Amino acid sequence: MTRKVLTIVGARPQFIKAAAVSRAISRVGDRLTEVMVHTGQHFDENMSAVFFNELEIPAPAHNLEISSGTHGSMTGRMLVAVEEVMLAEKPDWVLIYGDTNSTLAGALAAAKLHIPVAHVEAGLRSFNMRMPEEVNRVLSDRVSALLLCPTDEAVTNLRREGITTGVFNVGDVMYDVALHMREKARAQSDVLRRLGLEQGKFVLATCHRQENTDDPARLGAIVEAFRQISVGTKLVLPLHPRTRKLLNDATREKLSNVILTDPLGFLDMVALEQAAQVIVTDSGGVQKEAFFYGVPCVTMRDETEWVETVALGWNSIVGADTARVVSAVTSAAAQRPVTSTATPYGDGRAAEHVVDHLLRG
């Protein structure tokens, strides 16, 4: 009997995760079929379409084109639209990823229609309920039938909340992607040449999280840190649309030495991550990719869900404090962490484990 999986995605990190699972689904023949729904949460060409092409994901069967507005407005419109798709497609599973508004909309719509939800990346916790992502992941876990965790810590978090049924540590599907794509990125991306960069002689930065971009004090402190770093070291900053919109003229002047780019395709980003001396970010996915590629990371947040990267010495949590950001980057550039043989994110076959549970569930 063929089972139909309706996959809900909407943002770059979800495209990356879905790529691994979609490949695994394609390998089990007619036992599983997948229908992909793109909510449109990331609508920019470089934030969306180019990722589908480079990650070898088939074009979504449904593109809802819902991208603007407040969190409540966006989630509400997605909820209405994905419910209509579910009623038409009648899936056996709804598969959601991560912690975005698209994740929550898919989870709620499916739960109300009594369609079982499988949540990839379940159990992650920052323990900061002011983060929209934390609200999304907690609520999504509460209505999921299959909680597919990336780490032992995530399983422990769910157990502390009294959730034990349907919980499995499958590993991190982003690790699967890193193993699959790293050589392809080196071979096919010419981003180092285009930007005039040398291997191991630049800092790669990203900044997009609402807690940093929407707070003028935090954003100002981060920009000042980038300015100071860029005086002595090349610093590359692919600008998220939200961040670009919130930069004023005075702020842009401080970034005059920074190499600013539009959002980059996946292969370009992976090539930069592998070649960077240090990565500075507020992205959960980039924190992990830095760890996968053995590059020190400095995280501009007050906490992280990916505690393993900190415990193993590859990630420093510094908030949005200028002095702490600059100091951590300087320290990381001067002395790389000791390479660890620990594999907290699984065996590189997380996507296969996800598919096995979908077939058995």
Catalytic center residues: 208
Alpha-carbon distance 240 to 353, whole Å? 32
d(CA 318, CA 259): 23
> Which helix (H) or strand (E) covers residue 101, if one does?
helix 101-112
Half-sphere exposure of 241 toward its Cβ, with a 13 Å CA cutoff? 12
Neighbouring residues of 269: CB distance < 8 A, sequence distance ≥ 6: 238
Distances (CA, A) of 192 to 34, 142, 235, 297: 36, 44, 12, 19
* Residue reference for tokens 């005059």: 256
H helices within 116-247, ranges in order?
132-142, 152-160, 173-188, 191-195, 210-213, 216-232, 241-246
Q: Is 352 helix (H, G, I), strand (E, B) or coil?
A: helix
The first and second tokens of residue 212, run together, are 């940093």
The dihedral sign for the CA sequence 179, 6, 357, 114: positive
